[in-house]
């Protein structure tokens, strides 16, 4: 905002801006009674080569005399402008000169306004974020859902009380039917198990959305929240839940391994990794062991990321032990922490 104000002040101050304002004001409120002062240059062939509008005078209206005074009142002749008087039948030359001068003023005004418009147009794109933010906050308040600005910390865990999923809240008219859950990411990792359609993926999505909203400076859909600032949020959903790329003949397991390898090359310390139902097409024990080694690698000093993993591979819980908290979905889309 300070930069914008400084730029506007720079554009609107100085002699050049005053001269431009005076020039553009010449075109205002013109009438047939006005006196136009033009400057024209002639070429060697006595043809007009350039026009310039110098001044427009607006004569004050003359009050009419009333009654007998009207008979004896003398009308004063309008002052003749200085310059060369040229015989101009039907005003053809006058109209050509005046039209050319006004056209040049209009072209100049267009060029200047376009330059200013092109400079400030990107500002409208930067306001899209704030328009979306106001729409988000307004819609959630209209549905009487809790909103809070989380406390952001550099270290430590993240805790959210009565966390709602933004996607469900935005698209379901009756927000009071949506079930919130508490989230505690103070452990190094979380593993979520449960039956199909019990809210595991919804919970995972709500955590990622809350993290992104918080770091964008927006309130989150929770009663209370304290979040650690992350270097990035990385998500990977099972390839079985989305279409394969055209021409991709790799199996689902191989494709997921490739995506995981590409992701781990980019992850920085302090990142949050959200994984949903990986290796569900492999043999049960092999999938759990493979995912166990990947999660341990994410928590290693080489990567240093926290994770939340939704899985049907319950053997993974025993393999991780105290390295991760275990949450299990219950009836009614509620999650409960399972103690070892």
State the CATH number of the domain containing residue 297.
Answer: 3.40.50.300
CA 192 to chain centre: 34
Asked if residue 136 belongs to a domain, the reply is yes
Asked if residue 242 belongs to a domain, the reply is yes
Going from the C-alpha of 207 to that of each of 22, 130, 167, 203, 312, the distances in angstroms are 59, 22, 12, 6, 19
120 and 241 inside one domain: no
User: What's residue 148's pLDDT?
Assistant: 97
55 and 148 inside one domain: no
Asked if residue 76 belongs to a domain, the reply is no
SS3 180: coil
Sequence-distant (≥ 6) Cβ neighbours of residue 179 within 8 angstroms: 199, 332, 333, 334
Nearest-angstrom CA–CA distance, 127 and 232 = 24
110 and 215 inside one domain: no
Total-model pTM: 0.66
215 and 228 inside one domain: yes
175 and 116 inside one domain: no
| Mean pLDDT by groups of 10 residues along the chain of 340 residues | 76 69 63 71 77 70 56 55 60 74 77 80 84 95 95 88 95 88 87 91 95 96 95 83 48 83 89 90 80 91 90 91 90 87
254 and 321 inside one domain: yes
The structural domain count of the chain equals: 2
308 and 250 inside one domain: yes
User: What's residue 28's pLDDT?
Assistant: 58
User: What's residue 272's pLDDT?
Assistant: 94
User: What's residue 311's pLDDT?
Assistant: 92
User: What's residue 63's pLDDT?
Assistant: 58
211 and 327 inside one domain: yes
Going from the C-alpha of 150 to that of each of 56, 117, 131, 169, the distances in angstroms are 62, 38, 21, 19
User: What's residue 249's pLDDT?
Assistant: 42
Please give the residue range of the domain that contains residue 47.
2-59+90-126
């Amino acid at each position: 905002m300070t930069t914008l104000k400084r730029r506007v002040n720079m554009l609107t101050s100085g002699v050049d801006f005053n001269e431009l304002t005076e020039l553009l004001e010449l075109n205002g409120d013109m009438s047939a009674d006005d006196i136009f002062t033009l400057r024209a240059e002639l070429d060697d062939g006595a043809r007009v080569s350039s026009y310039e509008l110098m001044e427009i005078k607006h004569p004050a209206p003359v009050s009419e005399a009333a009654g007998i005074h009207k008979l004896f009142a003398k009308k004063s002749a309008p002052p003749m402008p200085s310059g060369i008087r040229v015989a101009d039948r039907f005003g053809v030359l006058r109209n050509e000169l005046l039209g050319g001068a006004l056209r040049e003023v209009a072209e100049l005004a267009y060029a200047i306004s376009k330059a200013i418009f092109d400079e400030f147009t990107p500002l409208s794109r930067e306001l899209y974020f704030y328009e979306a933010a106001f729409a988000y906050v307004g819609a959630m308040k209209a549905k009487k859902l809790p909103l809070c600005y989380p406390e952001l910390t550099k270290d430590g865990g993240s805790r959210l009380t009565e966390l709602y999923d933004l996607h469900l809240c935005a698209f379901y008219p009756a927000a009071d039917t949506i079930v919130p859950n508490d989230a505690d990411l103070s452990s190094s990792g979380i593993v979520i198990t449960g039956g199909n359609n019990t809210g595991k993926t919804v919970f995972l999505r709500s955590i990622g959305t809350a993290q992104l909203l918080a770091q964008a400076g927006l309130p989150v859909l929770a009663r209370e929240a304290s979040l650690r600032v992350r270097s990035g949020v990385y998500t990977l959903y099972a390839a079985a839940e989305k279409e394969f790329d055209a021409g991709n003949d790799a199996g689902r397991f191989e494709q997921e391994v490739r995506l995981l390898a590409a992701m781990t090359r980019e992850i920085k310390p302090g990142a949050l990794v959200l994984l949903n139902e990986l290796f569900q097409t492999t043999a049960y024990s092999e999938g759990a062991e493979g995912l166990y080694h990947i999660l341990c690698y994410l928590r290693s000093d080489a990567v240093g990321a926290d994770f939340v993993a939704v899985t049907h591979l319950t053997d993974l819980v025993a393999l991780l032990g105290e390295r991760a908290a275990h949450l299990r979905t219950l009836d009614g889309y509620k999650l409960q922490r399972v103690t070892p």
